[in-house]
Amino acid sequence: MSSTDTINRIAVITSGGDAPGMNAAIRAVVLAAENYGIEVIGFRHGYEGVLTNDFTKLGRENVEHILQYSGTIIKSARSERFKTDDGGREAAENLDAHQIDGFIVIGGDGSFRGAEHLAKFWQGAIIGVPGTIDNDLFGTDNTIGYDTAVETAMDALDKIRDTAEAMDRVFIVEVMGRNAGYIGISSAMACGSERMILPELQKDKPLTVDALVKHIEGVHRVRGDSSYVMVLCENQWPGGAVRLAEQLEDRLNFPCRPCLLGHVQRGGRPTAMDRILATRLGVHAVELVRQGKTGVMAGVSNNDLSSTPLPETWMQRKQLSQELIDIQTKLFNPVKKERHKAVQKEQH
């Protein structure tokens, strides 16, 4: 596929966990395609809809004002059947039956692995658009939905701080990100959290209740009784925030309260940044199809449009910013500071 003239019809799916901004990306695909006279078909429920031929035509009138809503108008799902060779073959047949020239999949790494699987059986152009709140895809500064998820986590943390300050208590807020601490570190920094437990910081030495109790007591020693808000990424503590709150309360003899945000983080009106990112990437995906590209993810790297081979997006590891980690854990850590001073005094 080397000529843009051959592109007459594009299919789009949203796949895997939904993310705020997916609708804005769908809209951008449709409006850009319409500009070039390309038809767009949306399959519902991700790859499952490609298998079951559950589709809808998408025109300007269907997408004009969806960019302020989260969720996805063509719904999302995970499909086990599609992962088999039979599934891949069937999907390819359905795409060909619809005379699809380009296939755009909006989702995370699981969805992109699906795209690779499809490529074994189908010859059209396949482009990935990074849509996941986890922000854990290599090849793009941010993924669609991540900024909104951080705002949502921040909003909850702000509210917790209000009441924590009023009552001088300890709170543990569990946020999403079982494999990547992006939501964790960003919401922690945005809210001045006293402590964060991220997958990236857990690898060397497992955290103990003892260490956490010591830190809480240290903060209280330095600042007087005061609020203490901990950000805990999911899957980083057995039993999660609920269990950890019980364990700390047992030791500290004052109330420790859990909060489990869960899928609240997937919803909510997308932020402007997510809508703009989704719009740029949706347009970019259509342009990539027109340029004859395939097997790549449309991204924004250092503010510019980029494309990255799909396997790299999950095989290469995007690194959490060490700068941010250092600010939160060292520079702003009241307890570390205390010890630091003590050491300095001894040296004199």
Closest CA to 12 of 307, 278, 308: 278
DSSP 168: T
Segment 223 to 282, residues that bind a copy of itself, using CB under 8 A: 223, 226-227, 240-242, 257-269, 271-273, 275-276, 279-280
**Opening angle at CA 170, ends 165 and 173, nearest 5:** 100
How many residues form the binding site for a copy of itself (CB under 8 A)? 92
Asked if 171 touches a copy of itself (CB under 8 A), the answer is yes
Segment near a copy of itself (CB under 8 A); pick from 1-9, 22-30, 206-214, 311-319? 22-30
DSSP 141: S
Asked if 283 touches a copy of itself (CB under 8 A), the answer is yes
Asked if 77 touches a copy of itself (CB under 8 A), the answer is yes
Work out how close the CB of 132 gets to a copy of itself at its nearest, in angstroms, rounded to a whole number: 13
Work out how close the CB of 71 gets to a copy of itself at its nearest, in angstroms, rounded to a whole number: 4
Q: Would you say 92 or 279 has its CB closer to a copy of itself?
A: 279
| Amino acid at site 177 | G
Question: Do residues 298 and 142 touch, judged by C-beta distance below 8 A?
Answer: no
**Structure tokens belonging to residue 44:** 């519902």
Among 39, 151, 200, 234, binds a copy of itself (CB under 8 A): 151
Work out how close the CB of 133 gets to a copy of itself at its nearest, in angstroms, rounded to a whole number: 10
Q: Would you say 246 or 250 has its CB closer to a copy of itself?
A: 246
Q: Would you say 53 or 226 has its CB closer to a copy of itself?
A: 226
Question: Do residues 74 and 13 touch, judged by C-beta distance below 8 A?
Answer: yes
Segment near a copy of itself (CB under 8 A); pick from 3-11, 88-96, 210-218, 297-305? 297-305
Closest CA to 146 of 127, 129, 130, 128: 130
> How would you classify the pairing of strands 125-130 and 55-57?
unpaired
Compute CA distances 55 → 28, 51, 63, 228, whole Å. 18, 10, 15, 50
DSSP 263: G
What distance lies between CA 312 and its chain's CA centroid?
17
Work out how close the CB of 264 gets to a copy of itself at its nearest, in angstroms, rounded to a whole number: 5
Compute CA distances 191 → 233, 263, 271, 272, whole Å. 15, 20, 18, 20
Segment near a copy of itself (CB under 8 A); pick from 24-32, 103-111, 123-131, 310-318? 24-32
**Structure tokens belonging to residue 217:** 């007591």
Asked if 108 touches a copy of itself (CB under 8 A), the answer is no
Among 187, 294, 307, 308, binds a copy of itself (CB under 8 A): 187
Among 10, 11, 32, 297, binds a copy of itself (CB under 8 A): 32
